[in-house]
Amino acid sequence: MANLELRGAFTALVTPFSEDGTAIDWEAYEALVRAQVEGGISGLVPCGTTAETPTLSDEEQVELIKQTARVVGGRLPLLAGTGSNSTVKTIKSSKAALAAGADAVMIVMPYYNKPSQDGMRQHVKLVAQAVDAPVVLYNIPGRTGVELSVETTLRILDDCPNVVGVKDATNNVCYCQDLLRQAGDRVTVMSGDDPLTLPMVSVGVRGVISVTANLYPKQISDCVALMLAGRWEDARRAHFALWPVHRALFCEPSPQPIKAALELKGRMRAVMRAPLVPASGACRERLTRVMREYEGS
């Protein structure tokens, strides 16, 4: 089983689409991935929430991972999102992602059917047993309707030695503290919320799986590096400079704002697949303002 170093800034990649939204814009996607590599990002996450994965076909997801692996050429670890609310489908998608070039898989807690804590544990256990690769859990109750508890996470770590990390998008700093206090170095936690990365790293989180890094890969990478080096004054300064950008990128359902920001920079179209819609005019105006202020600072 391959090792996965979860540390630093990973980018939760967006998926650019053609003008009518029916196809992936591969030219824009390759340019996005290359910009991440050149910006010093520590790892890439294709097919996550930011990729609009629920609207991608199984074939498109596999091709995204293949093309990411081709462009990266082994220079960065690839952590592919493969989770769904079906355990059987998640296993199938995880195996396909690994065959396509992913180094590890990230599985979101099952949404809509609202499993119990034991149901989530069984889901993870079956997936982890089915793949010979590192597994990262994705805890994002705001989107799934269920929250993986610390107690259940600890039971999973007991049962599944290849579960090595957690993407914590609980939107607070309590879950990660309780988990790290009890689990210690048995698991690596990554922030799933750009605005919370600084306080989370201060209590032992190892980095971020970032939306903002699509737009500013070097700046996010450098900011997280300052945090991990314990250069807190410099880290706070860099973090607070990015704060208005982080907030603007979540003023509407993600990834609507990040795609609008990338379009404003001329890097791709801000085309969304339904049921998501392009960012509003007010959102684009806010993004234009905070980006101008940040880049001029």
The catalytic residues are 138, 167
Contacts of 255 (CB under 8 A, 6+ apart): 14, 49, 50, 51, 52, 211, 272, 276
Contact in structure between 66 and 99 (CB atoms under 8 Å): no
Contact in structure between 242 and 224 (CB atoms under 8 Å): no
Residue 28 vs residues 10, 16, 102, 190, 250: alpha-carbon distances, Å: 19, 6, 20, 27, 22
Quickly list H helices, 45-185.
Answer: 58-72, 87-100, 117-130, 141-144, 150-159, 174-183
Give the helix/strand (H/E) hosting 163: strand 163-168
Contact in structure between 39 and 72 (CB atoms under 8 Å): no
The C-alpha R_g of the chain, in whole angstroms, comes to 18
Contact in structure between 244 and 216 (CB atoms under 8 Å): no
Torsion sign across C-alpha atoms 249, 47, 102, 266: negative
